[in-house]
Amino acid sequence: MSEGDRGDSGRVVVVTGGSRGIGRAIALALVEGARAVLINHYDPDDDAAQETVGRLEGAGVEADQVKLDVSDFGAVKEYFEGVIERFGGVDVLVNNAGITADTLLVRMSEADWDRVIAVNLKGTFNCSQAVIRSMMQRRTGGIINVASVVGLVGNAGQTNYAASKAGVIALTKSLAREVGARGIRVNAVAPGYIETDMTAHLPERVKEGFLSQITLGRAGSPEEVAEVVSWLASDRASYLTGQVVHVSGGMYM
């Protein structure tokens, strides 16, 4: 995970859901010290992902994007095998891909429950497992998972999402304990209310409800989350593992 691990060549970084929103900001923030920043996404088209790749290349790193459903175990395994073969390993994995399918539990379909758990929680398992053996062999690497404040405090209308994010937090701590002795750090960030496509469609009353709980009195930006991820991925956070850093403007204390 150290910035100098690959000598002059720099780190190899993979950000899931890196086409837009928080994932794009994380990808751009991780350019420093990187040789390659690779993103995947599951948007209907490649436009946003291509734009991210263009910005990454403009910042001087090798970059590429692929449409990949992180909930698909076999496809994820194949993708990371290709990355590891091409670059020799992954230094930093950011499990950022996530979705919502909000409704009260009383009305929630089985499909909405299954899909959110599959993408947010199983997707994190799939990608982590696909890189961990190689990280363990190289005795270096870092994984940062994007959880949510909702995974700690719950939220009416988000039983599926909150459960998936609580699962991501528990996965983070458990995996951190499994691989710490190999020099691999596993941490999470728990964003609060961040302005992205995910939150753009929320009803005004829901947005106002969130804002009333935020100590700093405003929504956060993707860049403010990315800054913390960038720090967690760096040697500056070399003695942190199994932690959940809340980036919520004081929504959660």
Ligand X SMILES: NC(=O)c1ccc[n+]([C@@H]2O[C@H](COP(=O)([O-])OP(=O)(O)OC[C@H]3O[C@@H](n4cnc5c(N)ncnc54)[C@H](O)[C@@H]3O)[C@@H](O)[C@H]2O)c1
Piece of the chain touching ligand X by CB under 6 A; list 3-11, 37-45, 174-182, 230-238: 37-45
* Single-letter amino acid, residue 125: F
Binder of ligand X out of 126, 148, 158, 230 (CB under 6 A): 148
Binder of ligand X out of 10, 11, 12, 16 (CB under 6 A): 16
Binder of ligand X out of 28, 162, 194, 226 (CB under 6 A): 194
196 binds ligand X (CB under 6 A): yes
69 binds ligand X (CB under 6 A): yes
141 binds ligand X (CB under 6 A): no
**Residue among 161, 193, 239, 252 flagged as catalytic:** 161
Piece of the chain touching ligand X by CB under 6 A; list 82-90, 134-142, 190-198, 227-235: 190-198
CA nearest to 70, candidates 134, 111, 129, 144? 129
Please, what is the minimum distance in Å from the beta carbon of residue 163 to ligand X? 12
122 binds ligand X (CB under 6 A): no
Binder of ligand X out of 6, 11, 13, 71 (CB under 6 A): 71
- Looking at the Cβ atoms of 119 and 176, the one nearer to ligand X is 119
Tell me how far apart the alpha carbons of residues 219 and 184 are, in angstroms, rounded to a whole number: 32
CB within 8 A of 183, min separation 6: which ones?
1, 139, 140, 141
CA nearest to 189, candidates 141, 243, 115? 243
CB within 8 A of 89, min separation 6: which ones?
12, 134, 135, 138, 141
Is 79 assigned a catalytic role? Answer: no
Q: What is the rounded end-to-end Cα distance, in angstroms, of the chain? A: 29
Residue 67: strand pairing partners: 41
Tell me how far apart the alpha carbons of residues 190 and 188 are, in angstroms, rounded to a whole number: 7
- Looking at the Cβ atoms of 21 and 167, the one nearer to ligand X is 21
CA nearest to 30, candidates 231, 210, 181, 179? 231
- Looking at the Cβ atoms of 2 and 103, the one nearer to ligand X is 103
Decide: residue 137, CB within 10 A, 0-12 exposed, 13-18 middle, 19+ buried.
exposed
Per-residue b/e over 61-72, b at no fewer than 16 CB within 10 Å?
A: bbbebeebbbbb
Kindly state the number of chain residues that form the binding site for ligand X, as judged by CB under 6 A. Answer: 29
249 binds ligand X (CB under 6 A): no
22 binds ligand X (CB under 6 A): yes
Please, what is the minimum distance in Å from the beta carbon of residue 11 to ligand X? 21
**Chain residues that interact with ligand X, rule: CB under 6 A:** 16-17, 19-23, 40-43, 68-71, 96-99, 119, 146, 148, 191, 193-194, 196-199
Active site residues: 161
